[in-house]
Structure 1
Amino acid sequence: MKGGVKLLAVCLCLAVATVVVAEDPYFHYVWNVTYGTASPLGVPQQVILINGQFPGPNINSTSNNNIIVNVFNNLDEPFLLTWNGIQHRKNSWQDGTAGTMCPIPPGKNFTYHFQPKDQIGSYFYYPTTAMHRAAGAFGGLRVNSRLLIPVPYADPEDDYTILINDWYTKSHTQLKKFLDSGRTIGRPDGILINGKAGKGDGSDQPLFTLKQGKTYRVRICNVGLKASLNFRIQNHKMKLVEMEGSHVLQNDYDSLDVHVGQCFGVLVTANQEPKDYYMVASTRFLKNALTTTGLLRYEGGKGPASSQLPAAPVGWAWSLNQFRSFRWNLTASAARPNPQGSYHYGKINITRTIKLVNTQGKIDGKLRYALSGVSHTDPETPLKLAEYFGVVDKVFKYDSISDNPTSDQIKNIKIEPNVLNITHRNFIEIVFENHERSVQSWHLDGYSFFAVAVEPGTWTPEKRKNYNLLDAVSRHTVQVYPKCWAAILLTFDNCGMWNIRSENSERRYLGQQLYASVLSPEKSLRDEYNMPESSLQCGLVKDKPKINPYAGA
């Protein structure tokens, strides 16, 4: 009997040990990045393919999965991918921006390793080097919930990703030459849905097929260069359930404004007459709107889609009102087994306010864009590597912009690396102020933030009384309408070098971005990982031996 008890105890210990050492699943991908030819708008042009695909392959993941992507650069110039919205906890080494990584040289490869934690939702990836985004190499990235964590809706019949974007018939190299010469790239030539422009005459092949009475999850991402887009489906409502990794209150919408860099997750029920229907994407805030269609087909349906397309809304005030209707779902589970709303951000004291004012001007006769008077330029040595190897004084200086810039500072644009020095775990307010007539879209890598307000006019501290301090959506991208401001709140608890950028590729390329440096005060692996052995080195640190400055917890 005693022997049986002893055997049982040993078995239990082994079972516990097995649970403790078990790792989260690993998923491996090998991507070959090449040039190819496609005709998205009927004109043959050079595009960038991933494994021969345009757009690139979708990544279908679950929270806590380890994603390994070995990227082989077969282009004739350096290349990088960023995983838009994935937070890379303690790991800006995988962020895929010029401030954090050396680009992958032609003919070489780099293996990304990242783990999407606490982020059930819809995302995408795209290239950050040169103007490569104008040629493709973008694709969807979904993070599903683990079985342990319930989502606030029934399992859909299927899950579809819809990538919408503006498109130019000029090559990415030609667009880059325009910008390098001081010119704008101008207005786009057309709109694409999943890499295609619909003919709108019923002859297109359906992008998706639906079963009568079934409900589908549809993820809509604007992966374009500069245009805000409105998305709608003929005769169908869209129930918004998720936005950039957060569950939201489930309101029905006839159409959604999706600004550059943003992703929405909606439910669509096939509850109409079985036939064809158009999905419609069109530009917003352009004088002469561009529109395209994609076909939905009911299984066994009879009859073509109506040629009468649903109209897009008019004006930015409509879009602002839609933004105000978005609310965090405080009762839904987060990626961990606790409610989203258990984090009471509205009760935390603000320790620093940073106002970022977007401007444009000319330097030596060439167009540049800036934030609070500084137009960012990427040094040859990535900012993160300069910090890591202790050569900051040879590469950049911190806080070259003021937290509350004067009008003179904003007007007198200078070109240099733009890096904010942020204290670890400080709760910070960032205000994006837009004095221009165009809609801006801003993104922060490494974090989700609470978009507490978007309002007309100029920001002052008194405007805080208009903040939503209860259920603003936790997200990573926010739009700012003409002559308006937007305020976001967040705790900078993720150590690393993180990009704050305009999602307008033209503006980002010409300097409208900066980096937030969040250093580990104790140099501990609890706060940040050491530089991976596989990381590339370039610039001043190209031949320096790798170091491991962070100690274990």
Structure 2
Amino acid sequence: MAQVVTRSVGALLLLCCLWAVSLVQAEDPYFYFTWNVTYGTISPLGVPQQVIMINDQFPGPNINSTSNNNIVVNVFNNLDEPFLFHWNGIQQRKNSWQEGMPGTNCPILPGTNFTYHFQVKDQIGSYFYYPSLGMHRAAGAFGGLRVNSRLLIPVPYLDPEDDYTVLIGDWYTKSHTALRKVLDSGRSIGKPNGVLMNGKNKADNDSPLFTMKPDKTYKYRICNVGLKTSLNFRIQGHTLKLIELEGSHTVQNVYESLDVHVGQCYSVLVTANQEPKDYVMVASTRFTKYTLTATGLIRYTNSKGPASPELPKAPLGWAWSLNQFRTFRWNLTASAARPNPQGSYHYGKINITRTIKLVNTVSTVDGKLRYAINGISHVDPTTPPKLAEYYSVADKVFEYNLVKDEPAAVDEQKVTLAPSIINATFRNYIEIILENHERGIQTWHLNGYSFFAVAVEAGKWSPEKRKNYNLLDAVSRNTIQVYPYSWAAIMLTFDNAGLWSLRSTMAERNYLGQQLYISILSPARSLRDEYNLPDNSLLCGIVKDMPKPPPYSA
């Protein structure tokens, strides 16, 4: 009898091994989307205006995916001008060809289509997409992009009853073309006209944005998709338990409200444990001389009455916001896809090989407003720099390293308009200092990576400030805010070959030059490090009619 049992166990082990091998060999799932991008007319602030819609939706449809899924989006551009989508926060491992930025992709021309194909590889979290050319984001075409954890990987909280996306952002009643003309004429676009929450400005008693069952817990993914203004988010009568921040599980602190800066996303848990009635979500401007507010309604399924007219107030001052930033901590015990630089989660023990200090400036060039980084105000060339590198004609398109690792002294600074691309060594561990000498808040985003946000402090940075870095559990994320007359420090390994944008998340600053690209080339030109140019890639500029270079080797 014992012999029979042994054979059964052996056969079972063999079957398990074969099943595991088949899982490894099986390709990750594909999800296909067809998007028609068109103009439409709506009145989000009570004034009819032209917006950009996706499949007649404003905001655009949510993408709901799971870690390692392949996302295929066929985009038909039915506008009267070129168009691109950017997938904000998706790391695009080895694949900057799908970034949808003017530094990596030729635009989708009117009346044509292009298919994006990217994999949300080893990622989880809350993100969004938006149009990256001109001032298109001011007209819409943005939407939520969520990446769920695979079922085999536990998350550090119970499954919520439902999962909601909340897109908040400032809004202008002028069209994107009118705003672009204002910037091209050398002026600022000024203050926004209002704030929207999922495309609406005011709570609608007849149409709540979300419903909640009594005593159930819900996940809310909150993203600031606006153009220039930090917002504070809060829910009447409820607290927010932070669980995830731009792809990282966090220590689960509880907040009355959260400051959400431009381009940032948070996931929180909200429990329906209050009196059964309606409640109001509030998003209002921060760090401005004016106050603009958007509201949205949450309704308990057993609601017995309307929401209170008294709305919760926003906090005051940027010191409150800085202190809140300091409470954000990475959950080091959570099981999830997360960055693993040089084989260690102990990022604070990795030797820094290069420090890059970047200072944002505002100036005028030929009487027109421009924004710059270390004196260089970026201009997109007609040939995307990534294509120029791939076709070995970079020297005909741009000059590397106009932005220096250390900015010039303030009295020596002058602003130069040029494509801004810096070189970085593959797999080097880098420290980047973002220093803000202005009285307004700045927010920065890096494509292709998550970085460790190790410090934000008032004043100017110096090497002695490193003693104040959080070298244990700083959150790994892709955006960072820099408060007025303050600095921020981030650390990361440049292990993702490609061309990646580091830029202001504020649309007018980005449009007028406050961005640069970081080129990380694989010395081996190997498919292990970077994918080849996709066969369906659009070509433009000087590479349009050139023969395709030999592909990378395996």
Relative to the length of structure 2, the TM-score reads 0.96
- Structure 2: which amino acid aligns with 1:85? G
The list of structure 1 runs, each at least 4 consecutive aligned residues, that deviate by more than 6 angstroms after superposition, is 7-14, 336-339
Name which of 358, 365, 368 aligns with 2:367. Answer: 365
Deviations 1:304-353 (CA, angstroms, capped at 9, x unpaired): 101100000000000000000000001111227999x9511000010000
CA contact (8 A) 2:162 2:219 kept: yes
2:196 aligns with one of 153, 168, 192: 192
Distance change in 2, residues 1:303/1:386 (3 Å)? same
What is the aligned-residue identity percentage?
72
- For 2:81, the equivalent position in structure 1 comes to 77
Distance 1:289 1:410, change over 3 A: farther
- The residue number in structure 1 matching 2:145 is 141
Partner of 2:427: 425
Distance 1:80 1:502 in 2: 18
In the TM superposition, residue 288 of structure 1 has moved relative to its aligned partner by 1.4
What does 1:292-331 correspond to in 2, within 5 Å? 292-331=294-333
Change (3 A) 1:503 1:409: farther
Q: Find the partner of 1:473 among 475, 484, 497.
A: 475
Please state how far the C-alpha of 1:15 moved relative to its aligned partner.
5.0
Give the Cα–Cα distance (whole angstroms) in 2 for the partners of residues 174 and 337 of structure 1.
41
Letter in 2 for 1:431: I
Q: Tell me the alpha carbon deviations over residues 260-300 of structure 1, each in whole angstroms, 9 at most, x when there is no partner.
A: 00000000000000000000000001111111210000002
Q: Which whole-Å CA distance do the structure 2 matches of 1:547 and 1:62 have between them?
A: 34
Using the alignment, how far apart are the partners of 2:19 and 2:267 within structure 1? 39
Task: Report how far residue 545 of structure 1 moved.
Answer: 2.4
Structure 2: which amino acid aligns with 1:267? L
- CA distance 1:305–1:519, change in 2 (3 Å): same
Deviation at 1:118, TM superposition (A): 2.0
Asked if residue 96 in structure 1 is aligned to residue 117 in structure 2, the reply is no
Q: 1:447 matched to which residue of 2? A: 449
Q: Does 1:61 align with 2:65?
A: yes
Deviation at 1:141, TM superposition (A): 0.3
1:345 aligns to 2:369 (yes or no)? no
One-letter amino acid matched to 2:75: V
- CA RMSD across the alignment: 2.1
Q: Which residue of 2 is the match for residue 108 of structure 1?
A: 112
Cα deviation, 1:389-435, whole Å, max 9, x if unaligned, reads 00011001111121011225873000001111000000000000000
> Could you tell me which of 222, 230, 233 is aligned with 1:220?
222
Residue of structure 1 equivalent to 2:34: 30
Equivalent runs, 1:371-520 vs 2, <5 Å: 371-408=373-410, 411-520=413-522
Task: Tell me by how many angstroms 1:79 deviates.
Answer: 0.3
1:86 to 61, 75, 90: 90
The CA deviation string for residues 163-198 of structure 1, in whole angstroms up to 9 with x for no partner, is 000000000000000000001000000000000010
Query: Aligned in 2, Cα 1:361/1:33: closer, same or farther, shift over 3 Å?
Result: same
Whether the 8 Å contact between 2:205 and 2:297 is mirrored in structure 1 is: no
Give the secondary structure class of the aligned counterpart of 1:179: helix
Distance 1:297 1:8, change over 3 A: closer
- Secondary structure at the aligned position of 2:178 is classed as helix
Worse overlay, 177-186 or 11-20: 11-20
Residue aligned with 1:401, SS: coil
Q: CA deviation at 1:19?
A: 3.2
The answer (yes or no) to whether the contact 1:149–1:337 under 8 Å persists in 2 is no
The one-letter amino acid of 1:335's match is A
Q: In structure 2, how many angstroms separate the alpha carbons of the residues matched to 1:36 and 1:225?
A: 20
Residue type of the alignment partner of 1:395: V
Q: Does structure 1 conserve the Cα–Cα contact (< 8 Å) formed by 2:219 and 2:267?
A: yes
Counterpart-to-counterpart distance in 2, 1:32 and 1:502: 28
**In 1, Cα distance between equivalents of 2:438 and 2:269:** 35
Q: How far, CA to CA, are the matches of 1:123 and 1:480 in structure 2? A: 21
Q: Is the 8 A contact 1:190 1:290 kept in 2?
A: yes
- For 1:289, which of 282, 288, 291 is the aligned residue? 291
SS in 2 for 1:369: strand
Q: How many residues align?
A: 547
Letter in 2 for 1:359: T
Letter in 2 for 1:176: R
Which of 527, 533, 541 is equivalent to 2:543? 541
* Displacement of 1:10: 10
Residue-by-residue CA offset, 1:80-134 (whole Å, 9 max, x unaligned): 0100000000000000100000010001111111111222110000000110000
- In structure 2, the partner of 1:167 is 171
Unaligned runs of 5+ in 2: 1-6
Distance in 1, Cα, partners of 2:143 & 2:125: 15
- Kindly tell me: are residues 409 and 74 of structure 1, through their superposed partners in 2, closer, same or farther at Cα, counting changes over 3 Å? farther
SS state at 1:142 partner: strand
Amino acid at match of 1:97: M
Q: 2:156 — aligned with what?
A: 152
Question: Which of 115, 127, 133 pairs up with 1:129?
Answer: 133
Range that drifts further, 230-239 or 190-199: 190-199
Q: Please report how far the alpha carbon of residue 226 of structure 1 lies from its aligned counterpart in structure 2 after TM superposition.
A: 0.3
AA aligned to 1:458 is: K
For the 8 Å contact 1:530–1:548, the answer to whether it is kept is no
